[in-house]
């Protein structure tokens, strides 16, 4: 498939924003249980604004993929059958909850909405955070299912697609959360960096599993099925016309196999290996972690962009069999 950078930036930017919010709310929830030190309302409010900025940038990037942006609202009307429609609904809902969560912390408006057994108060920010965390997970799933539900693109049609979208986005978000905590001087760096390492290594495992799976795929389509002719010896000599077409532009990446292999190693190093090493250095060495963690996030984000490019490029549309003399 032809990788569209608008979609690549959409999925990577909102993925980081979702992961950052999960890191913020996770830190607040664990602090209420006494496991972590309180992160502070200012930290959570500014962090929510940062997460919201990533979500807005992703939303803006998505508009460059639309031929008629003014008709984008119509995509939400097909939520019963379309994962894209569900993503269009969940993304703004998640953004709204992140905004309310950050605003509640910014203005110190955090009343108890009720009490649990033992007179434990149910705070407004906890309710908003829990709803936001749930929407973040749902958004990972809806985004990934847009691709995982396409049966004829065998490289995408796998539960690993959903797992990778979730784990990779969360890993990048927690690395961002660790960098933000280090920059803000909040004593949550060790916790957030540890979770980021776990998610990064988990992502390395699940993404490697999808690479192995895709390398063993046997295409269900052949030259015979592509044109409906059962002769055992068929060789395409020409596509039948001299110029390119929508099919030849949209369904193939037009890069060499060597370029594709190089991109695979770039994203494996950039998205997983180098960030994991930098995060580990922060945990074991007594150095100023801010710059190192910011570098880890930037390298990992660029690695995620390369990973997403490879994800789209690796999918081999069956129509390329028919257009193989051009592709």
Compute the mean pLDDT over every residue in the chain, rounded to the nearest whole number.
92
112 forms beta bridges with 123
The pLDDT, as a whole number, for residue 307 is 97
pLDDT tens for each residue of 122-149: 899 999 999 999 999 999 999 999 999 9
Residue 109 contacts by C-beta under 8 Å, 6 or more apart in sequence? 103, 124
Nearest to 16 by CA among 102, 103, 98: 98
Give the pLDDT confidence score for residue 260 in this predicted structure.
93
Q: In the chain, which stretches have pLDDT less than 50?
A: 327
User: Can you tell me whether residue 112 is helix, strand or coil?
Assistant: strand
Rounded to whole angstroms, how far apart are CA atoms 250 and 246?
6
Q: How far apart are CA 18 and CA 140, in angstroms?
A: 8
pLDDT of residue 228: 80
Measured in degrees and rounded to the nearest 5, phi and psi for residue 122 equal -100, 100
pLDDT at residue 319, rounded to an integer? 82
130 vs 98: CA distance, rounded Å: 11
Kindly give the residue spans of alpha helices, DSSP state H, lying in the chain. Answer: 5-32, 41-63, 83-106, 124-148, 159-184, 189-215, 223-227, 246-250, 257-268, 274-284, 289-314, 319-322
What per-residue confidence (pLDDT) applies to 150?
A: 94
pLDDT at 324: 67
Contact 131, 101 (CB under 8 A): no
Residue 295 in contact with residue 278, Cβ under 8 Å?
yes
Question: Could you tell me the CA-to-CA distances from 119 to 21, 114, 115 in Å, in that order?
Answer: 28, 9, 5
Cα separation of 323 and 316, whole Å? 12
Dihedral sign for Cα atoms in the order 51, 53, 59, 65: negative
Residue with tokens 């994800």: 311
Q: What is the pLDDT of residues 271-296, one digit of tens each?
A: 999 999 999 999 998 788 999 999 99
What does the pLDDT read at residue 284?
93
Q: Which two tokens stand for residue 249?
A: 């532009």
Q: Cα separation of 159 and 233, whole Å? A: 36
Q: What are phi and psi of 113, to 5 degrees?
A: -90, -10
């Amino acid at each position: 498939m032809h990788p569209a950078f608008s979609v690549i930036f959409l999925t990577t930017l909102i993925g980081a924003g979702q992961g950052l919010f999960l890191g913020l709310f996770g830190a607040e929830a664990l602090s209420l249980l006494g496991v972590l030190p309180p992160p502070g309302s200012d930290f959570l409010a500014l962090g929510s604004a940062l997460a919201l900025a990533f979500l807005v940038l992703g939303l803006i990037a998505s508009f460059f993929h639309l031929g008629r942006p003014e008709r984008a609202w119509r995509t939400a009307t097909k939520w019963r059958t379309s994962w894209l429609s569900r993503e269009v609904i969940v993304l703004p809902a998640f953004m709204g909850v992140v905004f309310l969560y950050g605003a509640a912390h910014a203005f110190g408006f955090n009343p108890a909405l009720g009490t649990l057994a033992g007179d434990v108060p149910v705070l407004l920010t906890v309710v908003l955070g829990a709803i936001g965390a749930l929407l973040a997970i749902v958004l990972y799933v809806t985004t990934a299912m847009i691709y995982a539900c396409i049966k004829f693109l065998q490289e995408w049609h796998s539960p690993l697609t959903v797992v990778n979208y979730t784990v990779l986005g969360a890993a990048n978000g927690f690395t961002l959360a660790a960098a933000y905590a280090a920059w803000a001087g909040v004593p949550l760096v060790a916790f957030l960096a540890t979770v980021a390492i776990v998610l990064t290594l988990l992502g390395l495992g699940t993404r490697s599993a999808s690479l192995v799976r895709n390398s063993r795929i046997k295409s269900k389509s052949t030259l015979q099925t592509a044109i409906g002719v059962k002769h055992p010896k068929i060789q395409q000599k020409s596509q039948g016309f001299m110029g390119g077409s929508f099919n030849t532009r949209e369904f193939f990446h037009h890069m060499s196999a060597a370029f594709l292999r190089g991109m695979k190693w770039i994203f494996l190093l950039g998205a997983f290996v180098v960030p994991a090493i930098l995060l580990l250095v922060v945990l074991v060495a007594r150095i100023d972690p801010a710059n190192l963690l910011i570098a880890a996030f930037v390298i990992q984000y660029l690695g995620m962009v390369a990973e997403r490019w490879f994800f789209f490029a690796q999918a081999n549309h069956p129509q390329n069999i028919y257009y193989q003399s051009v592709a």
